[in-house]
Amino acid sequence: MIIRSQQENESLVQRMLRRTFPKTKTGGSTIYSPEAFLLEIAKESARSNRRSLNQEFVLILVRFDVSKTASDLTNKFVTDLRQRLRVYDVVGWFDEQLGVLLPETDRQNGHLVANEIIRIGLSVDLVFDTEVHVYPWDDEMAAVSESMGTEFDNDDSSNGGIGQEVVDQAHSELVSAQLASGMDGSSTQQFSAIDQRSCMIAFSKSLPTPWWKRTVDLVGASIGLLLLSPVFLAAAVAIKLNSDGPVLFKQLREGKDGRQFGIWKFRTMRVDAEAEKNQLLHQSEQDGPAFKIKDDPRLTTVGRYLRKSCIDELPQLFNVLRGEMSLVGPRPLPVDESFACHPWQRHRLTVLPGLTCVWQVKGGRDTKFDDWMRMDLEYIRCRSFFYDLKLIFRTVFYALMFRGSV
């Protein structure tokens, strides 16, 4: 797919939309400008072209006369719409219309969403028509693209012009971020085409960390390290007495914006546990790319207790102080497991990973992987100061009641 925006040929209404709604705040999200929305379509088409399954995604066009519709009515409609959409869906201006981009959505579900959009419009006294277009585009969509000075080339389904450029640019940004964080050049050479595709997700709509969240992280981690220092000492002594090897275990995880960092934990397994992982993959009880075994044979006696009490996670308070993690957020996955996630699941990388999350207090080992990912995305949508405090207190309660997972 090739997209070439010709801004010099845009109409008066298009210029008005671009200048009036470059990044209009609506319930914590934005109405993308025509140029930004086109780029999101290019990114999604590039991802779709590189997937062997689930290639479809949907673009819904909402047709109403912007010049004759009150701005407060439009903003109310978009605010209500954003509350009903998924966190990774995109709303923006497209060909003098409002567009809704639904990644990894088929035609049937696209029409269901279109009907819901009409219902939302009626609730705010806004009447309009909707059109549902499914990628790969039909002839009607190609005609629309030509009318707005944009060319869609479906013949280039594997290596789209700007689509590949978007992937390459995202890959360059990822490499730059890793080099800035101190990773060596050999690590950056290991990315394959599928890694580039999945890493691109993290750079599309990264969300800033609110000031209150960083304040809670700094205060909470500092107090936690001070009060729990005797627990740190006791855990370290127990680990050394129980088995040979280091007290702490460091593993590479993928965090915000796809940046990799070393997560710290008290060692709960034998020293050669990582080498044994491949032999146990077929025993994983977790669906999806995550690897989890209830009775993991690699656990030491002390390690099993540390897992059950969640004490093994406490060294991650240092990761919180360093700004690599937050007290609350999606749990960071090992790099190989994170790369294996579907694109919609990788939108969890738009925020800092957390020491605890919704999955740990509401889900657990029996939760399906897709439901786990949906919990993370729902947290991103609903995160707030009091919600974070609630999850922190519930995590402490579960730890004291020895309801952690092993």
In this structure, the answer to whether residues 305 and 158 fall within a common structural domain is: no
Is 93 or 70 the better-scoring residue by pLDDT? 93
- The verdict on whether omega for the bond into residue 343 sits within 30 degrees of 0, i.e. cis, is no
The string of DSSP letters for 19-55 reads: HH-SEEEETTEEEE-HHHHHHHHHHHHHHHHT-SS--
The average pLDDT across 243-256 equals 91
Average pLDDT, the chain: 75
Q: Domain tally for the chain?
A: 2
Does residue 192 fall inside a structural domain? no
pLDDT of residue 7: 41
Q: How far apart are CA 104 and CA 130, in angstroms?
A: 19
- The pLDDT confidence band at residue 144, using thresholds 50, 70 and 90, is low
Domain-ending residue, one of 107, 137, 163 = 163
In this structure, the answer to whether residues 97 and 217 fall within a common structural domain is: no
Does residue 199 fall inside a structural domain? no
Q: Which two tokens stand for residue 152?
A: 């869609």
> Is the CB of residue 391 less than 8 Å from the CB of residue 361?
yes
Does residue 202 fall inside a structural domain? no
Which of 27-31, 138-142, 362-366 has the highest average model confidence (pLDDT)?
Answer: 362-366
In this structure, of 50-59, 101-110, 302-311, 345-354, the range with the lowest mean pLDDT score is 50-59
In this structure, the answer to whether residues 141 and 236 fall within a common structural domain is: no
In this structure, the answer to whether residues 140 and 220 fall within a common structural domain is: no
Of all residues in the chain, the percent with pLDDT exceeding 70 is 71
CA 339-341-344 angle, to 5 degrees, is: 120
In this structure, of 20-29, 140-149, 238-247, the range with the lowest mean pLDDT score is 20-29
Which of 45-49, 83-87, 299-303, 323-327 has the highest average model confidence (pLDDT)?
Answer: 323-327
Residue type, 249: F
pLDDT of residue 286: 75
CATH number at residue 26: 3.30.70
- The pLDDT confidence band at residue 3, using thresholds 50, 70 and 90, is very low
Does residue 190 fall inside a structural domain? no
pLDDT of residue 324: 94
Q: Give the tens place of pLDDT for each residue, 180-214.
A: 434 443 333 333 333 333 333 433 457 889 999 99
Does the pLDDT at position 262 exceed 80? Answer: yes
Does residue 55 fall inside a structural domain? yes
- The pLDDT confidence band at residue 141, using thresholds 50, 70 and 90, is low
- The pLDDT confidence band at residue 85, using thresholds 50, 70 and 90, is confident
Does the pLDDT at position 33 exceed 50? Answer: yes
In this structure, the answer to whether residues 124 and 225 fall within a common structural domain is: no
Domain-ending residue, one of 140, 163, 186 = 163
H/E stretch holding 326 reads strand 326-328
In this structure, the answer to whether residues 48 and 147 fall within a common structural domain is: yes
The string of DSSP letters for 368-395 reads: -HHHHHHHHHHHHHH--HHHHHHHHHHH
In this structure, of 72-81, 88-97, 199-208, the range with the lowest mean pLDDT score is 199-208
Does residue 189 fall inside a structural domain? no
Domain-ending residue, one of 106, 134, 163 = 163
Does the pLDDT at position 40 exceed 70? Answer: yes
In this structure, the answer to whether residues 26 and 93 fall within a common structural domain is: yes
Residue type, 41: I
pTM: 0.57
The average pLDDT across 128-155 equals 61
In this structure, the answer to whether residues 133 and 35 fall within a common structural domain is: yes
For residue 35, give Cα distances in angstroms to 160, 333, 359, 366.
Answer: 18, 33, 37, 43
Does residue 182 fall inside a structural domain? no
In this structure, of 21-30, 84-93, 362-371, the range with the lowest mean pLDDT score is 21-30
Which of 56-70, 140-154, 373-387 has the highest average model confidence (pLDDT)?
Answer: 373-387
In this structure, the answer to whether residues 23 and 122 fall within a common structural domain is: yes
What is the extent of the structural domain holding 36? 7-163
In this structure, the answer to whether residues 253 and 379 fall within a common structural domain is: yes
In this structure, the answer to whether residues 140 and 286 fall within a common structural domain is: no
- The pLDDT confidence band at residue 69, using thresholds 50, 70 and 90, is low
pLDDT of residue 161: 35
Does residue 237 fall inside a structural domain? yes
In this structure, of 17-26, 110-119, 149-158, the range with the lowest mean pLDDT score is 149-158
